[in-house]
Amino acid sequence: MSRNRFEGSELLHAYVDGELKPEERLRVEQWLETHPDDARRVTEWQKQNQGINNLFAPKADEPIPEYFSPPSKPQHILSDNRTSASILSRIAASFLILAIGIAGGWFGRDYLKNITIDRTATIATKQNFPQPAMEAHWIYTPEVRHPVEVEKNEQDHLAKWLSYRLETPLTIPDLSAQGFDLMGGRLLPSQTGPAAQFMYESKAGSRITLYLTKSFNDEKGETGFQFKQAESTRAFYWYNGALGYAVIGDIKRNELLEIVNDVYQQL
C-alpha cells in the first residue's frame, strides 16, 4: 500500500466517519499501526467529532416545553334570559370578578412558571459551565493551520474586539513565565452570549486554552476554583463578578493549577 494512497486522500476521513467496508477498515488500521503521523491525525479528528457530538447531542433529546401548547378556552354558560335585570347585574358582576381572578391566576401561573424555568436553566448552566469550554478546547487545539481566529501579532485588536463583544474589559494574561506563549484567540457562542477563547502553546507543542464568558453566578462575587476532568483533559473554572473563567489543558493537574493561579493574579 503506497503512502500516496492515504496522504491527503479522503480514505482516512471515511475511516473516522465509519463509512468504510470491513476489509477497507482493516487495511487502514494496519496502515495506522506503522504510520504514527497518520494515526495522530485520525485521533485528532475523532476527538473533534466527539467534541461536536457532545456539544449538540443534548439538544436533540430535549422535550418541547408544555408552555408552548396553547391553553383551552374556558366555556361560560349564560343565565336564563327570563332572569330579572337586578339578578343579571349581580351575575354579571360576579362573572367579572371571577374572570379577573382567573386571568390573574393564569397569568401569574405563567409568570411563576417562567421564573422557575429560568432559575432551573441558570442552575443547570452553572453546573455545566466547563463543558462547552472543554469542547471548544477539543475542537480547536488540534488545528494546525487555523487554531485561532486572530493571531498574537494583533493582540491589542484581539483584546479590544473581544472586550466589545463581551461588553466588559478583558485582559489577555502573559503566561510566558509558565512556558506557554500566546497564539491568539477567537470569538465563540455560549449559553450566556458571546464567549472568548485564548490559546497558548509551549515549546514542546502542548496547548492550553483560557475560556471566558458572562457569568451565571447569582452573588456576582468571587468563587473558589472548581475542577473537572474528562479523560486526559483537565479544567479549573471559577466565577469572578460578571465573568466565568475556565483554564483547560491536557497536562498534569498541579502544572495546570500553577497556570490557573498565574491567570487569576493577572485578571
pLDDT, one tens digit per residue, over 5-28 is 454 456 777 887 788 888 888 888
141 closest CA partner among 189, 209, 196: 209
Write the secondary structure of 163-207 as one string of H (helix), E (strand) and C (coil). HHHHCCCCCCCCCHHHCEEEEEEEEEEECCEEEEEEEEEECCCCE
Cβ atoms of residues 218 and 122 within 8 Å? yes
The pLDDT of residue 1 is 42
pLDDT digits (tens, 9 = 90+) for 167-204: 889 999 999 999 999 999 999 988 878 899 999 999 99
The pLDDT of residue 199 is 97
The pLDDT of residue 262 is 94
The pLDDT of residue 31 is 82
The pLDDT of residue 110 is 52
Long-range (24+ apart) CB contacts under 8 A made by 97-102 are: 102/74
Residue 223 carries which DSSP code?
Answer: -
The pLDDT of residue 56 is 58
The pLDDT of residue 2 is 42
The pLDDT of residue 98 is 55
**Is 90 in a helix, a strand, or coil?**
helix
Residue ranges, the chain, pLDDT below 50: 1-5, 7-8, 67-68, 72-84, 106-108, 111-113, 115-125, 218-219
**Is 146 in a helix, a strand, or coil?**
coil
The pLDDT of residue 116 is 42
The pLDDT of residue 241 is 79
